[in-house]
Amino acid sequence: MTISEDSSARPRGTGTGAAWDDAPCAVVAVDPSGVVVGANTVATGLLPQAVPGARLEEAVPHWLADAHRRLTASPSPLSGPGEPPGGEAGGRILRAHPARGGNGVVVWWLLDDTELRLAEDALRGERERTAFLAEVSETLSGTLNVERCMEATVRLAVRHLADAAVLIAPAAGRRLPVTYSAPDGPVHGTVEADPETVPGLSEALQGFPPAPSRWIDPALLPDWVVPPRFDGPAGSVVVTPLPGHGVPAGALVLLRRTGHTAFSRSEEIFARLFAARAGAALSAARLYAEQAAITETLMRELFPPKLRRVHGVEFAGGYRASELKEWVGGDFYDLHPAAGPDEESLIVLGDVCGKGLEAAVLTGKIRNTLHALLPMADDHPRMLGLLNGALVSSHHTRFATLVLASAARVENHIRLRLTSAGHPPPLIVRADGKVEEADTRGSLIGVLPRIRARTATVELAPGETCLLYTDGITEARGGPLGGEMFGERRLKDALGECAAMPAEAVVERVQMLAGQWVAGRSHDDMAVVAITAPRTVHLSAVDGHTRGRYTA
Amino acid sequence: MTIHTDHASTAADSAADPCAARERLWDAVREGDEYAASEAVFAALDAGTEPEAVLLDVIAPVQRKVGTEWAADRITVAQEHAATAINDRIIAALAHRVRGAARPGAGAGRVTVACVDGEWHALPARLLAEVLSLRGWQVDFLGAQVPVPHLIAHLHRTGPCAVALSSSIPTRLPTAHAAITACQAAGTPVLAGGAAFGPDGRYARLLGADAWAPDARAAADRLGGEAPLLPGPRSAHHPVDDLPHLADQEYTMISRTAPRLVGETMAGLEERFPAMREYTERQRQHTAEDIAHIVDFLSTALYVDDEELFTGFITWTAQILTARKVPAHSLRPALDLLAGRLKDFPRATRLLEQAHRALGACTAPAPAPTSDTTGHGKPE
């Protein structure tokens, strides 16, 4: 702002008749002794004491008096760089710009900044809220775990909305799951309490009809709603329902201490926005948890079992589904442990055509059928024939290949009966590192009404292994040059180094080599089972129960 | 591992001494003698050694020694796998025996322990899982090579307070980064551990892990420590924000065209060394795998923008080759050929130059890049 030196800025000493008398902002002229020598109409409206003759420090707020003192103390520049002084007067926010008149008189132009400041404050507030809501969305959309979601809601609420927060979820049985805010982070608990004891809570927990936020008298708050170590007392309490979509998501209780300002209207609206996001996230998490539980129950039977040593025969298995997101696929294996040391354990490994869940469902059916046919396990071709009959007559159009292996320990050897049904024959790793194919052939299962299969009998000496595998291993594409098949030769080479290894180590080795071969590329399901004659003469040296015993 | 030869001490004394127990266990696993191995470990337990000390001061050092002995070509791949399998079984048996001895309720809650996808060394993670169980945590051990979608589904289902993520192979770092970011996006903080993250944990920090621990004991201390591990506020976080240098696309281009790069380098080597054409299929395969490894480490070094990762690998490979009586200077022509192919990639070019220099004084021209059939420069 420039002021022309000659007439307009020059005070007349009376406060009237000056050119700035009608200026749209307040103007006050002060002489070198600190006495007001002029003030225009707007100025007198805002600062009634600032009349000519009054001492400035008695007539104006101290921020302006201070600014004047600083200005007169420094000789040269009128206003330094930086912000001009500002402050409140007469209910308005003013910014003071000084100009020098003649005879050492300073003329203060007081511009009204109120609207701008209010707009700036509102903008800052909105920005903070937007940032907060963005943080809320990001945090809450990250997790699909109900407890984590409840924790995050409470943590965010105390950071931005209230001194303490309590999230009450719909009852699980007779108890209410509750998450409280606490100084070291949220804590969970369940309480046996009647939601009716908190006004507005039972409506909020029902989820329908939509209930509004309710202010409640802090005195009516039952103890179980007050967070542990809350350094209250609560001055204001609001109960906000969390809208769940189709399912009730719970209610959020926000508490502010006495002394902290109560919730303003806009804060209350904002709390509702927050509650809407939290509610949506919580109901999504609840839905996911339900679905995950259902899936887990249905899939439990489809997971490959954990293999172990049975009566002196080592079994180990490894499985990797084709799709990263899948847990099960068309490859499978199953173990039916022998009842006693003189009986055979039956292990089956197979491959249903196709991938993913649909194929996995058929593997479950095959596993169940074989389980029922267990009494016939001494005759593999017969067992396979009955399985084939069951599959051909079913509505499944898929077919399967598989290998049956019956294994029993005979002194320190293992006697194996192996039967392939359209499956790659098992590989035998001899103690000297030689790798042989088991001499068994048979037709695949589930296509023709009758099948043929030939069983091979194989003896494993200590340290020798029989490997059952699916073509996901040998047909894996990749390698250092990309696109090459892993192939049987590489598998056999790898097995040549596996003589005298424990079963788990053989499985791990094969899985590792195949995994490195595909190196993150897409691949088919891969399943491997190793049946190994323990190298040492000790039987069940480590099975967790005994310290080991000698058998030979 | 220190050698302890005090044969005069009584059996109980030597069993209680971790050095003696280590020595017995090492002898047993090298022989593949599971019975003797379990005897060694259970004798230490019976003599009053704390289960945690048995895990970390007896089994863990022996397992480390398995790795160094393999690198020095003093044990075979088969022995390495067998020793690991035996250690694993012994840990299972030990866990079974001391179950119930765990301090009930002492732990802070539930924690997930997993290996990065493509990581086969499950034992360090397994040891941590058992130590945490002993300290009263509810532990979900997901095992070796856990695909990121499985890990995240597990986090959603169980809501642990933290994930302990293990990786020993540096080339898994990009995958580890994806896992760390995904866990954090699911609201779960990550403690990273294992050799892959660097001896000082620098790659753990670089990839944004919430904490790092040099070993299982430190990891368990950190998880159970005063300050709880909380997910940091990482608003609008994208994996690439951690690593602005990825903007030059060098990592993407080189990792995507790796098989072709390997093929071209093979062809180049054959041109330089006609003797290579006489290689057996198996020798060619090993040479290709060695080159693939170099490319893998090169692209990982580009991902983390750290020259030491690449020069470290090249000098380590030189040592491995020397241990296997393969001349280490066989590496140079491969580096030269790669440098020729990657002229347009300034960061890759710099890394290759530095590796070349790091190979140091072995300047004698290579007769032919041989790759023997018993083993090759491949960290397994």
Contacts of A535 in chain B (CB under 8 A): 32
> pTM of the predicted model, to two decimals?
0.82
Find the residue in B nearest to A322 (Cα): B147
What is the rounded CA–CA span in Å between residue A47 and residue A28?
10
Suggest the residue from B30, B96, B157, B298 to mutate for an interface test with chain A (most A CBs closer than 10 A). Answer: B157
Mean pLDDT, rounded, for B279-283: 85
* pLDDT above 80: residue B14: no
The pLDDT-based confidence of A79 (bands split at 50, 70, 90) is low
pLDDT in tens, B188-240: 999 999 999 999 999 999 999 999 999 999 999 999 877 777 665 555 467 77
Which amino acid is located at A183 in the chain? P
Which amino acid is located at A502 in the chain? P
* pLDDT above 60: residue A381: yes
Domain ranges within chain B, ordered by starting residue: 12-101, 106-242, 247-358
Q: With left for phi above 0 and alpha for psi between -120 and 50, is residue B58 left, alpha or beta?
A: alpha
| A135-144, A317-326, A449-458: the lowest-pLDDT one | A317-326
**pLDDT recorded at residue B361:** 47
Which residues have a Cβ under 8 Å from the Cβ of B151 and sit 6 or more positions away?
A: B112, B114, B142, B163, B179, B182, B183
The pLDDT-based confidence of B313 (bands split at 50, 70, 90) is very high
Question: CA of A350, closest CA in chain B: separation in Å?
Answer: 23
**pLDDT recorded at residue A20:** 80
Which residues have a Cβ under 8 Å from the Cβ of B377 and sit 6 or more positions away?
A: B290, B293, B317, B320, B321
Higher pLDDT, B320 or A423: A423
**pLDDT recorded at residue B15:** 58
* pLDDT above 50: residue B37: yes
pLDDT in tens, B134-145: 998 999 999 988
Please tell me which of the candidates B33, B118, B292 has its beta carbon nearest to residue A520. Answer: B118
* pLDDT above 80: residue B366: no
Q: What is the 3-state secondary structure (H, E, C) of B238-290?
A: CHHHHCHHHHHCHHHHHHHCHHHHHHHHHHHHHHHCHHHHHCCHHHHHHHHHH
Are A197 and A222 within 8 A, CB to CB? yes
Q: b or e along A72-109 (b: 16 or more beta carbons within 10 Å of the residue's beta carbon)?
A: eeeeeeeeeeeebbbbebbebbbbbbbbebeeebbbbb
> Could you tell me how far CA B256 lies from the centroid of its own chain?
23
**pLDDT recorded at residue B323:** 81
* pLDDT above 60: residue A4: no
Find the residue in B nearest to A521 (Cα): B256
**pLDDT recorded at residue B364:** 41
Please tell me which of the candidates B82, B188, B291 has its beta carbon nearest to residue A480. Answer: B291
Suggest the residue from B35, B117, B148 to mutate for an interface test with chain A (most A CBs closer than 10 A). Answer: B35
Are A245 and A236 within 8 A, CB to CB? no
Structure tokens at A367: 């596993």
Please tell me which of the candidates B81, B235, B266 has its beta carbon nearest to residue A135. Answer: B235
Secondary structure tally for chain A: helices H, strands E: 12, 25
**pLDDT recorded at residue B360:** 74
Question: CA of B27, closest CA in chain A: separation in Å?
Answer: 15
Residue A231 to residues A156, A277, B5, Cα–Cα distance (Å):
19, 28, 63
Give the CA angle between residues B227, B229, B232 to the nearest 5°: 115
Find the residue in B nearest to A543 (Cα): B93
Phi, psi of B193 (to 5 degrees): -155, 160
Contacts of B282 in chain A (CB under 8 A): 493
What is the rounded CA–CA span in Å between residue B87 and residue B26?
10
Are A3 and A78 within 8 A, CB to CB? no
The pLDDT-based confidence of A202 (bands split at 50, 70, 90) is confident
Higher pLDDT, B108 or A217: A217
| Interface contacts A/B by beta carbons within 8 Å | 146
Average pLDDT across chain B, whole number: 84
pLDDT in tens, A336-368: 999 998 899 999 999 998 877 888 888 999 999
Q: Does residue B164 sit in helix, strand or coil?
A: strand
Find the residue in A nearest to B28 (Cα): A536
Q: Where are the alpha helices (DSSP H) in A60-180?
A: 62-73, 114-142, 146-160
Mean pLDDT, rounded, for B239-248: 85
Is B92 an interface residue toward A (CB < 8 Å)? yes
pLDDT in tens, B155-166: 999 999 899 999
First vs last C-alpha separation in chain A: 107
Q: Which stretches of B109-189 are assigned E, i.e. beta strand?
A: 110-116, 138-146, 162-166
Q: Which CATH number fits domain B247-358: 3.40.50.1390, 1.10.10.10, 2.60.120.620, 1.10.490.20?
A: 1.10.490.20
Is A143–B93 a contact, with Cβ atoms under 8 angstroms apart? no
Is B236–A138 a contact, with Cβ atoms under 8 angstroms apart? yes
Which residues have a Cβ under 8 Å from the Cβ of A8 and sit 6 or more positions away?
A: A18, A19, A20
Domains belonging to chain A, first-starting first, are 19-112 (3.30.450.20), 120-296 (3.30.450.40), 303-547 (3.60.40.10)
* Residue A10: HSE in the Cβ half-sphere, 13 Å Cα cutoff: 6
Higher pLDDT, A355 or A238: A238
Residues 266-325 of B with CB under 8 A from A: 266, 282, 285, 288-289, 291-292
Are A280 and A310 within 8 A, CB to CB? no
Mean pLDDT, rounded, for A438-444: 95
**pLDDT recorded at residue A7:** 42
Is B262–A481 a contact, with Cβ atoms under 8 angstroms apart? yes
**pLDDT recorded at residue B258:** 93
**pLDDT recorded at residue B100:** 61
> Could you tell me how far CA B70 lies from the centroid of its own chain?
14
Are A518 and B11 within 8 A, CB to CB? no
**pLDDT recorded at residue A78:** 59
Higher pLDDT, A72 or A261: A72
Question: CA of B204, closest CA in chain A: separation in Å?
Answer: 22
* pLDDT above 70: residue A98: yes
B115: closest CA among B75, B88, B150?
A: B150
Contacts of B230 in chain A (CB under 8 A): 185
Please tell me which of the candidates A143, A504, A544 has its beta carbon nearest to residue B156. Answer: A143
Is B159–A148 a contact, with Cβ atoms under 8 angstroms apart? yes
* pLDDT above 70: residue A548: no
Rg (chain A; Cα; Å): 42
Overall CATH class of domain B12-101: mainly alpha
Are A367 and A527 within 8 A, CB to CB? no
* pLDDT above 80: residue A500: yes
Residue A414 to residues A417, A466, B323, Cα–Cα distance (Å):
10, 10, 39
What is the rounded CA–CA span in Å between residue B255 and residue B303?
10
Contacts of B159 in chain A (CB under 8 A): 143, 145-148
Supply the DSSP string of A422-487, one letter for each residue.
SSPPPEEE-TTS-EEE----B--BSSSSS--B-EEEEEE-TT-EEEEE-HHHHT-EESTTSSEE-H
Please tell me which of the candidates B32, B85, B288 has its beta carbon nearest to residue A480. Answer: B288
Q: Which residues pair with residue A549 across a beta bridge? A: A539
Contacts of A143 in chain B (CB under 8 A): 155-156, 159, 186-188
Q: Which helix (H) or strand (E) holds A381?
A: helix A380-392
Contacts of A551 in chain B (CB under 8 A): none
Is A547–B42 a contact, with Cβ atoms under 8 angstroms apart? yes
Mean pLDDT, rounded, for A533-545: 56
CATH of span B106-242: 3.40.50.280
Contacts of B265 in chain A (CB under 8 A): none
Is A497–B86 a contact, with Cβ atoms under 8 angstroms apart? no
Average pLDDT across chain A, whole number: 86
Contacts of A501 in chain B (CB under 8 A): 32, 78, 81-82, 85
Mean pLDDT, rounded, for B105-111: 70
Is B187–A184 a contact, with Cβ atoms under 8 angstroms apart? no
**pLDDT recorded at residue A508:** 92
Are A11 and A17 within 8 A, CB to CB? no
Please tell me which of the candidates A292, A482, A536 has its beta carbon nearest to residue B259. Answer: A482
**pLDDT recorded at residue A541:** 44
Please tell me which of the candidates B77, B82, B236 has its beta carbon nearest to residue A500. Answer: B82
Which amino acid is located at A319 in the chain? Y
Please tell me which of the candidates A135, A481, A502 has its beta carbon nearest to residue B82. Answer: A502
Contacts of A185 in chain B (CB under 8 A): 228, 230
Question: CA of B334, closest CA in chain A: separation in Å?
Answer: 14
* pLDDT above 80: residue A465: yes
Mean pLDDT, rounded, for B346-354: 95
**pLDDT recorded at residue A210:** 73
Question: CA of A182, closest CA in chain B: separation in Å?
Answer: 14
Please tell me which of the candidates A512, A515, A541 has its beta carbon nearest to residue B38. Answer: A541
Share of chain B above pLDDT 70, in %: 85
* pLDDT above 90: residue B127: yes
What is the rounded CA–CA span in Å between residue B318 and residue B316?
5
Please give the DSSP secondary-structure letter assigned to residue B100.
T
Is B186–A143 a contact, with Cβ atoms under 8 angstroms apart? yes
**pLDDT recorded at residue B374:** 34
* pLDDT above 60: residue B11: no
Find the residue in A nearest to B289 (Cα): A480
Phi, psi of B123 (to 5 degrees): -65, -45
Mean pLDDT, rounded, for A255-270: 79
What is the rounded CA–CA span in Å between residue A410 and residue A415?
7
What is the rounded CA–CA span in Å between residue B234 and residue B5?
54
Is B157–A145 a contact, with Cβ atoms under 8 angstroms apart? yes
**pLDDT recorded at residue B4:** 44
* pLDDT above 70: residue B68: yes
Contacts of A506 in chain B (CB under 8 A): 81
Mean pLDDT, rounded, for A75-101: 79
Question: CA of A70, closest CA in chain B: separation in Å?
Answer: 44
**pLDDT recorded at residue A405:** 97
Is B145–A146 a contact, with Cβ atoms under 8 angstroms apart? no
Q: Does residue A341 sit in helix, strand or coil?
A: coil
